[in-house]
Amino acid sequence: MVGLGDWDTYLMLDRLCEKQGMRVRFHRGIIEVMSISFPHESLKGQIGQFVRTYCNEHELDYNAWGSTTQRVEGVMGGEPDDSFSFGADLKKQPDLFIEVALSSGGIDKLEFWCEVKAQEVWIWQNGRLHAFVLKGDGYQPVTKSKVLPGIDLKLIEELAEVKPHSKAIREFQKRCR
């Protein structure tokens, strides 16, 4: 559901919906309320696990932020489906935001994450993984990750919907070596 509203309405809805298994996003006067489904959570968990597996296999330091709320007061507020920062130091925000878009419409995810200058955004949509890097004031599509240059995005796309998850992760791990 998408509608118009102000920052205070967003904050109120965010508090109310948190306990109901729903998410709320605010972007420049637009409020979006989303329910969380098993297919959505399954995909975001699987893609996030690929990132963790890749980092562990290659001994890369990372911090998993999960769906930590990101806000720019009065401009935007909401959670990614998953997020990570890379390197040993804990940064002020993630380097990579992962989004699973199983429905169309709503707030534009790239415009949304541009507000916090996210370095890289991955969006799963229509059975494909789309990667974008921040260039100037917007995002450009890429075929290789900037924050994890060696990760195989096509392999993630190939294995993202494989069930059970454990089988997909073992295959990913084997092919990462």
> Is 84:94 a contact under the CB 8 Å cutoff?
yes
Instruction: Give me 86's structure tokens.
Output: 């890379």
Does a structural domain hold residue 130? yes
Does a structural domain hold residue 8? no
Quick one: average pLDDT of 172-177? 92
Does a structural domain hold residue 3? no
**Band of pLDDT at residue 19, cut at 50, 70 and 90:** confident
Does a structural domain hold residue 20? no
Beta bridge partners of 139: 134
Q: What is the pLDDT at residue 64? A: 96
Helices (H), the chain: 7-18, 38-57, 109-114, 153-159, 165-176
- Structural domain span for residue 126: 38-176
pLDDT single digits (tens) 128-150: 999 999 999 899 999 999 999 99
pLDDT single digits (tens) 88-108: 888 889 999 999 998 877 899
Does a structural domain hold residue 33? no
Does a structural domain hold residue 47? yes
Does a structural domain hold residue 120? yes
pLDDT single digits (tens) 26-63: 999 999 999 888 999 999 999 999 999 999 999 999 99
- What integer best gives the mean pLDDT of the chain? 94
Closest CA to 51 of 156, 177, 166: 156
Q: In total, how many domains does the chain have?
A: 1
Task: Please give the helix or strand (H or E) that residue 76 lies within, else none.
Answer: strand 76-78
CATH number at residue 112: 3.90.1570
Does a structural domain hold residue 92? yes
pLDDT of residue 1 exceeding 80, the answer is no
